[in-house]
Each structure stands twice: as C-alpha cells, then as structure tokens.
Amino acid sequence: MSKQILTYIPLFFLLLLGQSVFCAEPETLEAAFKRVRPGSEPQAIIGFFKTNAPDLLDEIQAKRKDFPDAMDIFIAQLADRFAEIDAYRGEDQATYDRLVRQERQQCQVRKLAREIQRLGKPVEDKDADAQRQQDLAKAKTELKVVLETVFDESQQQQLIELNRLESEVRDLRRLANDRAANKDFILKQRFEALTGLKE
C-alpha cells in the first residue's frame, strides 16, 4: 500500500503546481508557425491564408490534435508557399497577383469539391432530395467552370514561359554563333592576355 501512495505523490504535486501534462494549453497557430519555421512572419502568413485560402487554416485547426506530426509538415508547406508568393510582391506585381488568384481559385475548387461530396449522399425526404439534386448539379457546374478557368490560366502562363525560354535560347544561340564566328580573334586575345606577347 505504501508503494502505491509513493507512486501517486509526484503526480499529486504536479497537479498542485499546475504543471500537469494533461492540462497543457494547446499551441496557438502563430506559435506553431514560429516553431516550425523560425524567422517566418506568422501573422503575415495567417493573414494571407485567412484572406485567400481560409479552408487551409481551418484544416490545420481541425486536424492538429489527431495528426500533430503531419500538421507540422503542412504548416511548413504553407509557410514556404507564402514565402514563395510573397517574394514577388513589389518585385513582380503581375506574378504576385496571378499567384494570389491561383490560391483563391484552388480554395474555391476545394470548397466546391467538399460541397459535391456532401451533396452526393442521398437523403430520405423526397423534397429535400430533389433540392439536393439541384444543388448538386449547380455545384458540379460551378466546379467545372472553375477548373476550366484554372486550366486556361495555367496553360496561358505555360505558353508565356515557353515563349520566354524560346527567346532566351535564341539569344544564347546567337551568342554561341558570334563566339564561333570570332573564334580566331577570341583565341588571339586570350593568348596575348596570358603571355603578354603579340602574335
């Protein structure tokens, strides 16, 4: 009996001091960003996603207790995504605006997909089921429109990038051709620079 009392005494003192592991306050989202990505700007990250993709923050809050390790990875990905987008702010406003628009569109896609999944479950009441069918058809149409918009914008961006790369290749090819045409002159200059002798 005395061993049982000795076993519970430390736990009793922990409870008295308010330092019980079971009573710990959950970590705030801001603290989680600071812990996972030290040096990041948690308020800016949270504000950005609250405005442009609030469903991602909701998902973190909903799943943090059950999947803490996975949430750290997800928090790190959000912080990295914010940093990637924010790097364009002020430097390349058109790219920044495009990336923000993509975040909003992806949020809308996820929202509509969840709505379609929810509406895909039949209900008992015939009137409610008829309304559900209408809402489901509407959500499907909206999702198709948004997906088409996302695809078209992505395709347009890829074509712009392809044109930029083709232009860069043309410039590099022109430079390589110029160097080939001036090979003798370039080699003569290099020889003279290395030896100090005129040829």
Q: Does the predicted TM-score (pTM) go above 0.85?
A: no
Q: Which two tokens stand for residue 57?
A: 């923050």
pLDDT of residue 89: 93
- The pLDDT tens digits of the residues spanning 138-186 come to 999 999 999 999 999 999 999 999 999 999 999 999 999 999 999 999 9
Our measurement of the distance from residue 152's CA atom to the centroid of its chain's CA atoms, rounded to an integer in Å, reads 20
pLDDT of residue 25: 64
- Residue found under tokens 């996972």: 36
Rounded Cα–Cα distance for residues 18 and 37 (Å): 29
- The pLDDT tens digits of the residues spanning 5-24 come to 444 444 444 444 444 344 45
pLDDT of residue 123: 78
Rounded average pLDDT over 51-72? 86
Rounded average pLDDT over 54-76? 86
- DSSP secondary structure of 112-173: HHHHHHHHTS--S-HHHHHHHHHHHHHHHHHHHHHHHHHHHHHHHHHHHHHHHHHHHHHHHH
Please list the helix, strand and coil fractions of the chain in percent, rounded to the nearest 5, in that order: 80, 0, 20
Residues with Cβ within 8 Å of residue 115, at least 6 apart in sequence = 135, 139
